[in-house]
């Protein structure tokens, strides 16, 4: 292991909402890391499925938080890692409302940064890093790298989810870095990318000095792309083929996640406004994709509710209306 990285502190930031069993599996995997973490921030977006109770039952928090709160409430505790038994600082933050993944990662990154950790390791509750995932990330000489990302592998198929590891074409539409889905293809490779999902990126403290915190106003879908692309604009963000994180989330095409389509297109238009303001072809292409998406809802999924059919177009309209800071 890189000697310098042994001296540096790492804090995992895990955002959760109503997936207590997945959260527990994620936390247990973090505790099994061969390079132990020094801290864990658990950002609970006001879950109502018994998440705090399960955390208390498994020793992650000493008592339950108050539930009628008007602002985030933090509980600090310690728990042993599962490698050498040394303590990990656990910070459980109960949010006063569901702020989405964007609000959760904003809160976790801000708090981890303010506590002085050298690295923040970001992931959703449906992530499960392999035991050597963190160690293999930190083996990379990161002197001129701002963010290190593990390979994301689907739990059921065992295939790499390439769409999480992104580059952009001239229309600013994100494309997977490769069509290769065999994790062995990436072994021992370090690949420059332009954006990545919040499924395991390891971010340097100095990176946050350069780019600030994730945008909490994006709520869900695209917040990770925006933040990691901001990192890319300041320096290198790389995919580390020897580090693997298992992803257990639902496929993004499920109709039961239809409501997220609004945020997908709203946040894509906000992304263009931030990163490609004068690329008018990109705006036209996004509008075209929104129309295609609306038609697919009608024809492929046979959804006849007008309010649902126009969600992609309404997302673009609302994204154009947002006042820029």
Tell me the per-residue pLDDT of 119-131, one tens digit each, with 9 for 90 and over: 999 999 999 999 9
261 membership: H or E segment, kind and range: helix 260-275
Percent of the chain with pLDDT over 70: 95
Report the pLDDT value the prediction gives residue 299, as an integer from 0 to 100: 84
pTM strictly above 0.85: yes
Instruction: Specify the pLDDT at position 6.
Output: 61
| Residues 12, 309: Cα–Cα separation, whole Å | 38
- Every domain of the chain and the residues it spans: 3-247, 255-321
Helix axes 223-232, 100-114, angle to 10 degrees: 50
pLDDT of residue 95: 98
User: Is 50 exceeded by the pLDDT of residue 254?
Assistant: no
- pLDDT for res 82: 96
Mean pLDDT value across residues 160-177:
95
Share of the chain above pLDDT 90, in %: 87
pLDDT of residue 143: 87
Instruction: Report the pLDDT value the prediction gives residue 253, as an integer from 0 to 100.
Output: 45
**Which CATH code for domain 3-247?**
3.90.550.10
Q: Quickly state the pLDDT bin for 1 (edges 50, 70, 90).
A: very low
The candidate with the shortest Cα–Cα distance to 148, out of 35, 261, 69, is 35
Let me know the angle formed at the C-alpha of 240 by 234 and 244, rounded to the nearest 5 degrees: 130
Supply the pLDDT for residue 4: 47
Q: Give the mean pLDDT of 14-22.
A: 97
**pLDDT score, position 2:** 52
Q: What is the 3-state secondary structure (H, E, C) of 267-318?
A: HHHHHHHHHCCCCHHHHHHHHHHHHHHHHHHHHCCCCCCHHHHCHHHHHHHH
Q: Please give the Cα distance from 237 to 248 (Å, whole number).
A: 24
Q: What is the per-residue pLDDT for 302?
A: 80
Tell me what the mean pLDDT of segment 155-169 comes to. Answer: 96
Tell me the per-residue pLDDT of 177-229, one tens digit each, with 9 for 90 and over: 999 999 999 999 999 999 999 999 999 999 999 999 999 999 999 999 999 99
pLDDT for 324 equals 63
Strand partners, 16: 44
Does 248 have pLDDT greater than 60?
yes
Q: Phi and psi for 247 in degrees, rounded to 5? A: -115, 130
Quick one: average pLDDT of 38-52? 98
Q: Tell me the pLDDT band of 7, cut-offs 50, 70 and 90.
A: confident
Examine the pLDDT at 113 and tell me if it is beyond 90.
yes
- 11-31 average pLDDT score: 98
pLDDT at res. 38: 98
pLDDT at 34: 98
Contact 121, 243 (CB under 8 A): no
Three-class HEC string of 201-213? EEEEHHHHHHHCC
Mean predicted lDDT score pLDDT of the chain: 94
């Amino acid at each position: 292991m890189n000697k310098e990285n042994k001296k540096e502190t790492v804090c995992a930031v895990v955002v959760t909402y109503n997936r207590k069993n997945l959260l527990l599996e994620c936390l247990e995997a973090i505790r099994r890391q061969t390079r132990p973490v020094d801290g864990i921030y658990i950002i609970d977006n006001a879950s109502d499925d018994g998440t705090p109770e399960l955390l208390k039952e498994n020793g992650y928090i000493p008592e339950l938080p108050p539930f009628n709160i008007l602002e985030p409430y933090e509980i600090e505790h310690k728990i042993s890692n599962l490698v050498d038994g040394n303590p990990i600082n656990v910070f459980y933050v109960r949010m006063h409302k569901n702020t989405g993944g964007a609000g959760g990662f904003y809160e976790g990154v801000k708090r981890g940064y303010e506590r002085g950790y050298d690295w923040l390791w970001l992931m959703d509750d449906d992530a499960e890093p392999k035991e050597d995932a963190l160690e293999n990330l930190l083996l990379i000489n990161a002197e001129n790298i701002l963010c290190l990302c593990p390979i994301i592998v689907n739990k059921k198929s065992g295939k790499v989810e390439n769409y999480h590891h992104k580059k952009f074409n001239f229309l600013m539409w994100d494309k997977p870095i490769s069509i290769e889905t065999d994790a062995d293809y990436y072994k021992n490779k370090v690949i420059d990318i332009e954006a990545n999902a919040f499924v395991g990126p390891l971010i340097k403290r100095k990176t946050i000095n350069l780019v600030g915190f994730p945008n909490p106003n994006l709520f869900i879908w695209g917040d990770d792309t925006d933040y990691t692309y901001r990192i890319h604009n300041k320096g290198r963000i790389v995919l580390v083929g020897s580090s693997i994180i298992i992803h257990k989330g639902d496929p993004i095409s499920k109709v039961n996640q239809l409501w997220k389509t609004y945020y997908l297109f709203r946040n894509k238009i906000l992304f263009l406004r931030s990163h490609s303001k004068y690329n008018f072809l990109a705006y036209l292409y996004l509008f075209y994709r929104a129309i295609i998406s609306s038609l697919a809802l009608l024809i492929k999924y046979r959804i006849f509710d007008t309010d649902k059919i126009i969600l992609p177009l309404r997302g673009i309209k609302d994204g154009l209306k947002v006042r820029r800071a």
